[in-house]
Amino acid sequence: MKKYDICIVGSGAGAGPIIYELAKAGFKVCVLEKGPALETSDFSKDEYLACRKDVYASNLQNEFHEIESFSKSQKKWKLATTKATGRTYWNGNMVGGSSNLMSAYFHRLKPNDFKLLSTYGKIEGANVADWPIDYNTLEPYYAKVEEVVGVSGEVRPHSTQEPRSTKDFPYPPLKTNLISEWLDKAALAEGYSMVSVARGIISKTTTNRNACYYSNFCGSYGCSSNAKSSSRVALIYPAMATGNCTLIPNAKVYRLETDGTGKVAKAHYYLKDEKKSIEADIFVVAAQAIESSRLLLMSRGKLHPNGIGNQYAQVGKNIIFSAGGIGSGNLFDKDFSKETIAKIKTPGLWVNRAIQHWYEIDDPAFNGKVKGGTVDFVFEHANPMPKLMRQKWGDNGLVYGSKLKENIQDYFLDQRKIKFEIFNDWLPTDNCMVSLSETEKDKWGDPVAKVKIGYHPHDLIVARFLADKAEKILVNIGAKNISTGISSTPSPNLVAGGCRFGEDPKESVLDKNCKVHDCDNLYVADASFMPTGGSVPYTWTIYANSFRVADVIKRQLTI
């Protein structure tokens, strides 16, 4: 049993910056990752493997979640395991975590996201809280992510552009489709500017990473050029090259053991089925929000009878997802010239446009100013299975026979679908939280995480408002069959909260440096710390905050 300076649980976006910074600073780092050590050469664009068989996520027969959701028809909360429903809450379990599979639409939070309560006031039924740090504290770290992890983009003026310490992005924007110009014009016609969306994808080749080759299959697939800014490629590989980082894959941590002083002394883990443990001076948990809460709750000891950080029953509370929905329209061949539609149908090129004009909504539809959100435009994913599956059902049930073949052919050959994804705050409530299941156990006999997925009705109203703005844009560019599905069903890949940071230990789990209030050598460095999520996907913020926490840990280790 070797003693390390620091032991990190998980190896995704929340872990990577700490692994990188500490290893580079000469500290002995040990990473315990429950998934396998897949390498770049292991990834291909195999839809069967990646999406139909979901091999990059933990097997639901062995490890699963218990989901508690409200049944509107039965008017009661109901429990179901993901093992039974097949709807996984795992997002990517391997070295680098789900950052290997992300689509990498990167957005910073905006200054008001750090002070939602004081800016927009209380919302009945929601546990909104201000952050204990402000945008300026995180800004240098956002800039660091651009440089070190790799973010491509361009700074173009728009009404909600967040302040920047650097003039432009280190990597120029990725190539875009003709549709991006149409979207720009459509927004200007409506009186505002489209945002050019940054990406956690590099557009220029560096010494150890090739530029994006527009492979056409990005989200849900690993990257074969190392262009995607995964924690594995951008941070863990360089950390390993220092010789200071020991990576233990297939190591599932099930308990943090505390000593008589209340500090974590050991991380206990299963290496496949063997029980092992590791000692270190400092521990970091970054297992993605749900599992991080679960691990803290499972880590009971003399001084932490209800789990570490849980002296005021805050661990697992206020889990948030990303609220919103998805809309779409079809660009039919018949509505455009041959040359134009050929350009629109060019595979690979990005859309990279978003509406953030209503990031703050000041509209008579609401009672005063409210927080709005982001609408990202994207083409329908290129992989064919979901497109085929969509043809299965018609108004009268299953479609089959020659009619089905005609529908399939029309869908694939006569149009291209442009979609939009709405991101607005998933308000934290008492009905959205993680606890330990009382009945369900994983293959090792440990309680699985029980996730209650209640939402606040305000989320849906904001999403609908944003959908109307996006639908107008689609009309303007000539799309047909425009519709939006606003949903209260969470997207498990965008999850945060559960171990909020804050000043008051009675209302938070972590202090403002993401150290657990009641444990002096334990940090939580994934999105668990976020009291509110902003109205964007989280990963850029997770990376930035982890770099900030790395600085704190370096200071603690050098004292």
Applying CB under 6 A, the residues found at the interface with ligand SF4 are 201, 212-215, 218, 221, 223, 225, 227-228
Query: What φ, ψ does residue 206 adopt, rounded to 5°?
Result: -115, -175
Beta strands, E only, 153-197: 195-196
Per-residue x/- track, 476-505, ligand FAD (CB under 6 A): -----------------xx-----------
CA 222 – CA 216 distance, rounded (Å):
12
Report the partner that residue 318 touches, choosing among another protein, ligand FAD, ligand SF4, none (CB closer than 5 to 8 A by kind): none
Q: Under the criterion CB under 6 A, does residue 81 sit at the interface with ligand FAD?
A: no
Q: Which of 462, 497, 457, 460 is nearest to 371 (CA)?
A: 462
Report the partner that residue 11 touches, choosing among ligand SF4, another protein, ligand FAD, none (CB closer than 5 to 8 A by kind): ligand FAD
Q: Under the criterion CB under 8 A, does residue 215 sit at the interface with another protein?
A: yes
Looking only at the bridges linking them, the beta strands covering 317-320 and 496-498 are: antiparallel
Q: What's 52's DSSP letter?
A: I
- Beta-carbon neighbour count of residue 292 at 10 Å? 30
Per CB under 8 A, the segment of 384-392, 416-424, 449-457, 545-553 that binds another protein is: 384-392
- Please report how close the Cβ of residue 492 comes to another protein at its closest, in angstroms: 19
Beta strands, E only, 220-362: 245-248, 251-258, 264-271, 274-285, 317-320, 322-332, 353-355, 360-361
3-state helix, strand, coil split of the chain in percent (to 5) is 30, 25, 45
Binding test (CB under 8 A) with another protein, winner from 413, 445, 558, 559: 413
Tokens read off for 262 = 């209340």
Which spans in 125-247 are helix H? 135-144, 178-189, 231, 237-241
Q: Under the criterion CB under 8 A, does residue 275 sit at the interface with another protein?
A: no
Per CB under 6 A, the segment of 88-96, 135-143, 307-315, 343-351 that binds ligand FAD is: 88-96
Report the partner that residue 212 touches, choosing among ligand FAD, ligand SF4, another protein, none (CB closer than 5 to 8 A by kind): ligand SF4
CA 161 – CA 156 distance, rounded (Å):
8
Q: Under the criterion CB under 8 A, does residue 389 sit at the interface with another protein?
A: yes
Nearer to ligand FAD, 282 or 341 (CB): 282
Size of the site for ligand FAD (CB under 6 A): 41
Nearer to another protein, 26 or 86 (CB): 86
Query: What φ, ψ does residue 538 adopt, rounded to 5°?
Result: -90, -15
Tokens read off for 312 = 């005021």
Q: Under the criterion CB under 6 A, does residue 295 sit at the interface with ligand FAD?
A: yes
Query: By the criterion CB under 6 A, which residues form the site for ligand FAD?
Result: 9-15, 32-35, 91-94, 97-99, 101-106, 219-220, 252-253, 286-288, 291, 295, 493-494, 526-527, 537-539, 542
